[in-house]
Amino acid sequence: MVFKNYIGGKWVDSKSGATFESINPANGEVIGVVSKSDATDVDDAVEAAARAFPSWRKVPAPRRAEILFRAAQIMLSRKEELSLLVTREMGKVIKEGRGDVQEGIDMTFYTAGEGRRLLGSTTPAELPNKFAMSVRDPIGVVAAITPWNFPIAIPTWKLMPALVAGNTVVFKPASDTPVLAHKLVEILEEAGIPGGVLNLVLGPGGTVGDALVSHPKVDLISFTGSTAAGKGVAQKASEQLKRVSLEMGGKNAIIVMDDADLELAVDGIIWSAYGTTGQRCTAASRLIVHEAVRKELADRLINRIGALRLGDGLLDTTDVGPVVNASQLDKIHGYVEAGIKEGANLLIGGTICDEGDCAKGFFHKPTLFDNVNPNMRIAQEEIFGPVVSMIAVSSLDQAIEVNNASRYGLSSSIFTRDINNAFRAMRDITTGIVYVNAGTIGAEVHLPFGGTRGTGNGHREAGQAALDIFTEWKSLYVDFSGRLQRAQIDLDS
C-alpha cells in the first residue's frame, strides 16, 4: 500500500508515480511507502483548495467546528494506535508519543470551541445613528508546512484554527513523518470535512514546500521548522506580499539560582534537556547556573544522566529514544566535536551509541558540557539533540543577560525560591515563554505559543492568538441616520 496525497476529497498517487519510504529511526523498519509529489501535485491541491474556499467560508463557524469536535473524538478513541505510530515513525518514547497525540486532541477540542466565539468587537461610533463593529474574516488558501518533532500536535495547531476560521488548507508535513499526517487527514475526512477544504501533499520541502510558497493562489503560509528554511520561505513569499507566520528554532535556557531547590531543578533539567532526545523547539540546551551551586548541580546531573537508558521508545524501559535520522545524528555529533575543540569541558556522554539496544538506529548519548563560554557555538546555535551546555554566572542580572543574549527567543526557565528573583526574571527575560520552577517545556494549548528574535516573526500560535494568524480584521460601519454623515468632518459643523 502507498500512502497517498489527498486532493479535492480523493486519495491520489503523485502524478509522477514516484515514492519514498518513511523509516523507524530506532531500527530501520519501513513504516510506509509514501507518494513523492512535485509542483504539479501542489498545483492540483491549491486549485482544489481555492475552489472550495468560497463555499467553506460561508458555512457557519459553529457548523465548521462540529467537524473539529468529531475529529477530536475520533482522535481520542484512537489515541493509543496513533501514539504507537508516533513512537515508531518519529522515535520519541511512548509516554511522550501519548503526550503528542493528547496535545493534538486538546488543541482540536479547544479550537472547536472557537466556532462559537471567533469574537470580534462592537464599539461606539463617533457619529449619531451609526453602528460600528469589527469581525474576523478568513484569508483564503493556507499552506501549512510542519516539522517532524511533534507530528500530530503541530499540524493541529495549524489545521484546526485555519479551518474553524473558514480558510481552506493544503498541508505539507515533514518527510520524516508522512504516515502520521496521512492518519490525521483520514480522521478529518471521517469527521466530515468537505472535499477540497483540506488537502494533503506529501514530498520534499525543496520541491513541494517551495511550490506551495511560490504558488500565486496560496494566500498565507504557516510554517514551523528551522530558522534557515523559515527565512527562505519568508523571502520567497515576500515577492508576492503573502502573509507568513513563522515558528522556528530555539536555544532555550534554564537558570538555576543559588537559592534553588536543586532536586527539583535536576528533575526539570533532565526532562527539558533529554526528553524527546532534545528534539523540541523548547528543549533546554543551555544551563545558566549560579557559580555557588555549579559543582553540586553538575554532580547530581552526571548521576542522573548516567542512569538514562537509550533504546527503542516502544519499550517501557527506555528513557531516551533515537534522533530522527542519520543527518540529524551527524549534525548533533558535529556540535559535540565543535564544543570540545572550542575548549568546553565534556562531563558525560559525547559519543554516538551504535551497540546493544542502539545497534540498528540513530542514537546519541545524552551529553553535558561544563565551562562553556556564552559565545561558543554550542551555546549559541540550535543543536536539536541531547546536548547541554553549562554556563556559570555570579548574579541574577548576569544570568538574565546571558539568557537574553541569544539569536533565538522561545522559552526560558528559572529555578529560585526567592519571590523577588522570580518576578524580576518574569519581567526582564525576553523570550516568548517563561517558566518559574519548571523546565522549559510544557506549553498548554490555550495560551499563546511562540518566540521573539530569530524564533519567529511576531505571531503566536495556540490560544486565541492563533486566530490573528488565520484571519483578517474587517471593520463594518452601518449608518442608519438616513443622511450622509462624514467622519472627522461633521464634528465641526
Overall residue count recorded for the chain in this entry: 493
Q: How far is the CB of 435 from ligand NAP (least distance, A)?
A: 16
405: Cα separation from own chain's centroid: 22
Q: Does 249 bind ligand NAP (CB under 6 A)?
A: yes
For residues 326, 329, 334, 335, the Cα torsion angle rounded to the nearest 10 degrees is 150
User: Which of residues 219 and 382 has its CB atom nearest to ligand NAP in the complex?
Assistant: 382
User: Which of residues 134 and 226 has its CB atom nearest to ligand NAP in the complex?
Assistant: 226
Q: Are 144 and 159 in contact, with CB atoms under 8 Å apart?
A: yes
In the range 439-478, which residues lie near ligand NAP by CB under 6 A? Answer: 451, 455
Using only C-alpha atoms, what is the Rg of the chain? 24
Binding-residue pattern over the window 324 to 363 for ligand NAP, x denoting contact by CB under 6 A = ----------------------------------------
Q: How far is the CB of 175 from ligand NAP (least distance, A)?
A: 3
Catalytic annotation, pick one of 96, 103, 247, 461: 247
For residues 69, 93, 245, 448, the Cα torsion angle rounded to the nearest 10 degrees is 70
Q: Which of 6, 56, 148, 171 binds ligand NAP (CB under 6 A)?
A: 148
Distance from C-alpha of 411 to C-alpha of 449, rounded to nearest angstrom? 9
Kindly give, in sequence order, each residue whose CB lies less than 8 Å from that of residue 335, ignoring residues fewer than 6 positions away: 377, 378, 381, 383, 385, 387
Is 353 a residue of the active site? Answer: no
CB neighbours of residue 419 within 10 Å: 9
280: Cα separation from own chain's centroid: 8
CB neighbours of residue 350 within 10 Å: 18
Q: Which of 31, 94, 248, 462 binds ligand NAP (CB under 6 A)?
A: 248
In the range 204-223, which residues lie near ligand NAP by CB under 6 A? Answer: 204-206, 209-210, 213
Distance from C-alpha of 235 to C-alpha of 244, rounded to nearest angstrom? 10
The number of residues that bind ligand NAP (CB under 6 A) is 32
Segment near ligand NAP (CB under 6 A); pick from 9-17, 248-256, 433-441, 474-482: 248-256
Catalytic annotation, pick one of 189, 281, 353, 358: 281
Distance from C-alpha of 433 to C-alpha of 445, rounded to nearest angstrom? 13
User: Which of residues 174 and 393 has its CB atom nearest to ligand NAP in the complex?
Assistant: 174
Q: How far is the CB of 167 from ligand NAP (least distance, A)?
A: 19
- Element containing residue 288 per DSSP (H, E): strand 284-290
Q: Under DSSP, is residue 450 helix (H, G, I), strand (E, B) or coil?
A: coil
Q: Are 218 and 209 in contact, with CB atoms under 8 Å apart?
A: no
Segment near ligand NAP (CB under 6 A); pick from 229-237, 266-274, 361-369, 422-430: 229-237
Beta bridge partners of 456: 247
Q: How far is the CB of 204 from ligand NAP (least distance, A)?
A: 4
Q: How far is the CB of 335 from ligand NAP (least distance, A)?
A: 13
Q: How far is the CB of 205 from ligand NAP (least distance, A)?
A: 2
Q: How far is the CB of 352 from ligand NAP (least distance, A)?
A: 19
Q: Does 235 bind ligand NAP (CB under 6 A)?
A: no
Binding-residue pattern over the window 97 to 136 for ligand NAP, x denoting contact by CB under 6 A = ----------------------------------------
Q: Which of 250, 321, 386, 439 binds ligand NAP (CB under 6 A)?
A: 250
Distance from C-alpha of 290 to C-alpha of 394, rounded to nearest angstrom? 5
Q: Does 156 bind ligand NAP (CB under 6 A)?
A: no
Strand segments, DSSP code E, in 109-164 are 121-124, 130-138, 141-145
Q: Are 195 and 52 in contact, with CB atoms under 8 Å apart?
A: yes
Q: Are 185 and 6 in contact, with CB atoms under 8 Å apart?
A: yes
Distance from C-alpha of 478 to C-alpha of 3, rounded to nearest angstrom? 51
Which letter does DSSP use for residue 206 in this model? Answer: I
Distance from C-alpha of 456 to C-alpha of 404, rounded to nearest angstrom? 15
Task: Provide the pairing of β-strand 10-12 with 5-7.
Answer: antiparallel
Segment near ligand NAP (CB under 6 A); pick from 180-188, 226-234, 307-315, 388-396: 226-234
In the range 188-207, which residues lie near ligand NAP by CB under 6 A? Answer: 204-206
Q: How far is the CB of 414 from ligand NAP (least distance, A)?
A: 20
Segment near ligand NAP (CB under 6 A); pick from 148-156, 266-274, 313-321, 346-354: 148-156
User: Which of residues 32 and 166 has its CB atom nearest to ligand NAP in the complex?
Assistant: 32
Is 66 a residue of the active site? Answer: no
Residues that bind ligand NAP (CB under 6 A): 145-149, 154, 172-175, 204-206, 209-210, 213, 224-226, 229, 232-233, 247-250, 281, 382, 384, 410, 451, 455
Residues marked active site are found at: 247, 281
